[in-house]
C-alpha cells in the first residue's frame, strides 16, 4: 500500500494449554526460530521472543496487513502442529486459546526487550499469573477472573 506508514509494536503473551510446563530447553530455541519464521512469512518483524516452559513472550513490529487474531491463530496453530509433528512432547501439545497483546511506543522497546530477554530471572520472583495480571492492570485492561490464565492446581 503506497503512502501507508505505520509504527505498531506489540507484546504478545500466551501460554501452554492448562499452563503445563512442556517447553523444554532442548528444543525451545528451535521453537523460537520456527515462530520467528511464521511472523516473518506474514510480513511482520520479530523483535524478540523468549519464554518459560509454560508460556511465551513475543515482541513484534506488526504491519497492518492482517488482523492480530489471524496472526495469533497462525502462530499457535502452526507451532502446535510443528511441536506435535516433531514429537517433542508425549501426547498432544496445545496452546491456551487466549492471549494478551499490549502496544508499546518505539522508545519503550529497549526496556521491554530487556524484560523479555530476562524471563528466567524475572520468574524467580513472580509467577506467570502475577506477571500477567500486572500487565492487565498496567494497561488498564478489564478482565473477568473466570477467563484469565489460572495457576496450575
Domains and CATH numbers, the chain: 9-147 (3.30.70.1290)
The C-alpha atoms of residue 48 and residue 11 are separated, in whole angstroms, by 9
Angle between helices 68-85 and 25-41 (to 10 degrees): 140
C-alpha cell at 73: 491463530
Closest residue by Cα to residue 55 from 84, 79, 30, 19? 19
Round the average pLDDT of the chain to a whole number and report it. 93
pLDDT at 150: 58
Say if CB 71 and CB 62 are below 8 A apart.
yes
Q: What is the pLDDT of residues 32-87, one digit of tens each?
A: 999 999 999 999 999 999 999 999 999 999 999 999 999 999 999 999 999 999 99
Q: Is the pTM of this model over 0.85?
A: yes
Stronger pLDDT, 85 or 5, i.e. the higher one: 85
Stronger pLDDT, 114 or 148, i.e. the higher one: 114
User: What single-letter DSSP state applies at residue 58?
Assistant: E
pLDDT at 106: 96
Amino acid at each position: 500500500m503506497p503512502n501507508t506508514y505505520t509504527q505498531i509494536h506489540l507484546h504478545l503473551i500466551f501460554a501452554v494449554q492448562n499452563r503445563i510446563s512442556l517447553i523444554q530447553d532442548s528444543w525451545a530455541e528451535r521453537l523460537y526460530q520456527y515462530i520467528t519464521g511464521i511472523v516473518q512469512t506474514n510480513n511482520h518483524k520479530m523483535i524478540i521472543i523468549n519464554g518459560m516452559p509454560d508460556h511465551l513472550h513475543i515482541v513484534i513490529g506488526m504491519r497492518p496487513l492482517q488482523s492480530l487474531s489471524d496472526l495469533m491463530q497462525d502462530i499457535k496453530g502452526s507451532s502446535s502442529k510443528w511441536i506435535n509433528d516433531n514429537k517433542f512432547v508425549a501426547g498432544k501439545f496445545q496452546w491456551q486459546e487466549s492471549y494478551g497483546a499490549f502496544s508499546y511506543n518505539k522508545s519503550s522497546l529497549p526496556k521491554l526487550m530487556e524484560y523479555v530477554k530476562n524471563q528466567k530471572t524475572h520468574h524467580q520472583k513472580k509467577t506467570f499469573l502475577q506477571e500477567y495480571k500486572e500487565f492487565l492492570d498496567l494497561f488498564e485492561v478489564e478482565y473477568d477472573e473466570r477467563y484469565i490464565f489460572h495457576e496450575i492446581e
